[in-house]
Amino acid sequence: MTTITNWSRRFCVGLVAAVALLALSSPAFAQDADVAVLVTEVVHPDGDDEQIRFWWSDADQPQWTDSDNAVFRGLDRVGVRPLQPERVDISRIYRRPGLSAENAAQLGRLLGVDQVLVGTLEYRPVGPVAPLGLMGVEAHAEVTLVPAGNSEAVALDKFEVTRQVFGDGADELLDEARADAGEALGEMMGQSFRRATGQVGLDTEETLLAFRDVEHSAYLNKIRERLEELEEVDRVVKRWAAEGVIAVEVQPGEDGVDDEVADYARRVLENHDFEQFDVVGVPAAEGLDGVHELWLETGEGRM
């Protein structure tokens, strides 16, 4: 996996049917996002020992960490408000740190959200660094977006951030690292939510690929893997999803190449020999406006 420190971002889009994300038109008018943040804070004060905190550790009273608050500030900065309950009723089964994607998805369903951000924000000492001998703290976050209640918990998006701070005072450095990494992570995730167009069929300038009639998430993973093999495709980003339809964009934000690359990706998928299914294009007159609509044929329906 490619890692880029300081404001790094790596999209890994698992194409899986989920409820549509709400489009946010402006960060000045924050809207509630149907998503819960389940990030475990892990602090290594001397490099070996661990201090672990997570807000769902209490049966009914959220125990928000400093990392949580920093992430929330970053999300709020781009106009996204995740679930922040004042009281919860969480089973002992889920009151543990470092939740798996599957357990996080089930807890998200119990919390009443559609999607869950699950992962860790970890802090380790660094240094001393020459020539001044300064000590430092490195913060590293890895978070995955999964659909709530999905037993397979296939990743919809992945986020990764690494930040380092240097100076004097261990407590002050840890506070600074929390703020820098947490806010960066929050902004990164918030920008991803804001780029979602929301409702199916909403007018958009991008050319999208929409997939229908998908029986298994494994089929969608195969499609994603094939797209990521193309030299012309660096990123694949989910734009909206609804029951039975998943729309994605290839090469987002690159003016003048979007239509061409999307059409090329469509033709590659239609001509690729997938082992368990075929990708078949839908005639433009029968499909959705502004998208290349594709069906997956399996079993007796295959050509």
Query: Whole-model pTM?
Result: 0.59
> How far is Cα 165 from Cα 176, in angstroms, rounded to an integer?
7
What CATH number is given for 31-194 in this structure?
Answer: 3.40.50
pLDDT at 15 over 90: no
3-state secondary structure of 12: coil
Domain with CATH 3.40.50 in the chain: 31-194
Please answer whether residues 104 and 146 qualify as being in contact, where contact means their C-beta atoms are separated by less than 8 angstroms: yes
Please provide the distance, in angstroms rounded to a whole number, between the alpha carbons at the two ends of the chain. Answer: 36
pLDDT at 30: 38
Please answer whether residues 65 and 114 qualify as being in contact, where contact means their C-beta atoms are separated by less than 8 angstroms: no
Q: How confident is the model at residue 199 (pLDDT cuts 50, 70, 90)?
A: very low
Mean pLDDT to the nearest integer, 146-157: 76
- pLDDT tens sequence across 63-80: 999 999 999 999 988 888
Q: Across all residues in the chain, what is the average pLDDT?
A: 76
